[in-house]
Amino acid sequence: MAFFFFFDNENICDFVKSIFLENGFDCNVSAAVQPKGLPLYMVKNRGFFNACVEGVRFVVVAVLGEESFDAEALARQIKKYEQVLTRPVAFLFRNSSNAQRKSLIQERVPFIAPTSLIYLPFLGVALQNQNRAAGVRNKDDHDLPKKMTPQGQLLFLYMLYKVKDSYVTKARAAQETGLNAMAVSRYSRELEKLGLVRLQENGRSILMTCSDNGTSLVEKAKPYLINPIKKRIIVTKDNLKETFPKAGESALSAKTMLTAPRIDAYACQKKDLSPNVIDYTAGLRWFSKLELIEVQIWSYNPSLFAVDGVVDPLSLYMSLKEFKDERVVGCLEKMMETVQW
């Protein structure tokens, strides 16, 4: 299958910029001069554009004429472009099939296919956009998200606990949360739509701050928050070498008068758990409860907001709020009433 592109330079700049803006990313695009030191086939019928998305600069190579498709050849061309241009490079195609896009991804060739997919591994971005080129907009496109994603919740907790009523740049938020710049940009806009944060331009930077303080902000966020627990496993104490913050009833007992559970619970994200840890959930009858520990695997890093070796109260609340035990529910409500947000 051949590729065709029929826009002039100005339209391509506007077109590429709009793709990123519609997905919530700050973006600037401008026409670039044709680079020297490249073979004729790598510059003929191709347009070159400088792009900057969330502070990351790269070059977009638009395929302007008809070309045969060869993902391996395009992968080699990307390497050559990057050697000459000394920055990341992505192709811009007008049309592409599912099979072609799959082969490009397998070869890790960055590309923008406006009708369907943005794949930029150097930015950590892979976005689907099936209806854009046809001008079809889903009626729910502008609706508020029903629930936060784990990354969105991580960013919200960072704003709640660390930023409060001060201001922070997206770059600093990315550095302190471990999220990439694109994720911070995307989820800050999502939080803005939910009325949880405010974004303010400051020269070339965008500053973020909480839209409310304390309890009112937490109450506004509650309907959108998720349970951070992805999985629970049971391990033996001597098999767990890492130190993780207390979670579950163990954490609640540290904050209230709740009696501590017989099996202590701790939380971590999957990548921090040793692959050598053995899950004994199916064989509990062979162990004394005093030998065991429950490990909750969370969808974000619980250690980021832990205090005194205990997970943060809002995440703890979300992990226990569906509990049926009246003692747990009562202590959970008491904890939430006493937290100084």
pLDDT tens per residue across span 201-240 = 887 778 999 999 889 999 999 999 999 999 999 999 888 8
Cα torsion 54, 59, 65, 70: sign:
negative
> What is the C-alpha to C-alpha distance for residues 42 and 77, in angstroms, rounded to an integer?
7
Contacts of 258 (CB under 8 A, 6+ apart): 249, 252, 327, 328, 331
Of 224, 257, 287, the residue that ends a domain is 224
Domain-located, residue 120: yes
Contact 165, 213 (CB under 8 A): yes
Domain-located, residue 135: no
> What is the C-alpha to C-alpha distance for residues 62 and 45, in angstroms, rounded to an integer?
9
Domain-located, residue 142: no
Q: Which pLDDT does position 141 carry in this prediction?
A: 43
Q: Which pLDDT does position 175 carry in this prediction?
A: 93
Boundaries of domain holding 112: 9-128
| Token pair of 224 as six digits | 């959108």
Site of tokens 């309890």? 215
Domains: count for the chain: 3
Domain-located, residue 249: yes
Q: Which pLDDT does position 223 carry in this prediction?
A: 95
Q: Alpha helices, DSSP H only, in the chain?
A: 9-22, 71-85, 98-106, 150-158, 170-177, 181-193, 214-221, 248-255, 313-320, 326-338
| Token pair of 21 as six digits | 């803006």
Of 224, 241, 275, the residue that ends a domain is 224
Q: Which pLDDT does position 136 carry in this prediction?
A: 34
Kindly report the average pLDDT of the chain as a whole number.
Answer: 87
Instruction: Work out the end-to-end distance of the chain between its first and last CA atoms, rounded to an integer number of angstroms.
Output: 58
**CATH number, domain containing residue 20:** 3.40.1350
Residues 117 and 176 in one domain: no
DSSP state of 42: G
Q: Which pLDDT does position 157 carry in this prediction?
A: 99
Domain-located, residue 3: no
Residues 117 and 64 in one domain: yes
User: Residue 307: phi, psi to the nearest 5?
Assistant: -130, 130
| Token pair of 104 as six digits | 């490009």
Contacts of 336 (CB under 8 A, 6+ apart): 313, 317
Residues 307 and 334 in one domain: yes
Q: Which pLDDT does position 216 carry in this prediction?
A: 94
List of the chain residues with pLDDT < 50? 1-6, 130-142
pTM of the model: 0.67
Residues 280 and 184 in one domain: no
> What is the C-alpha to C-alpha distance for residues 114 and 105, in angstroms, rounded to an integer?
15
Site of tokens 């004994």? 280
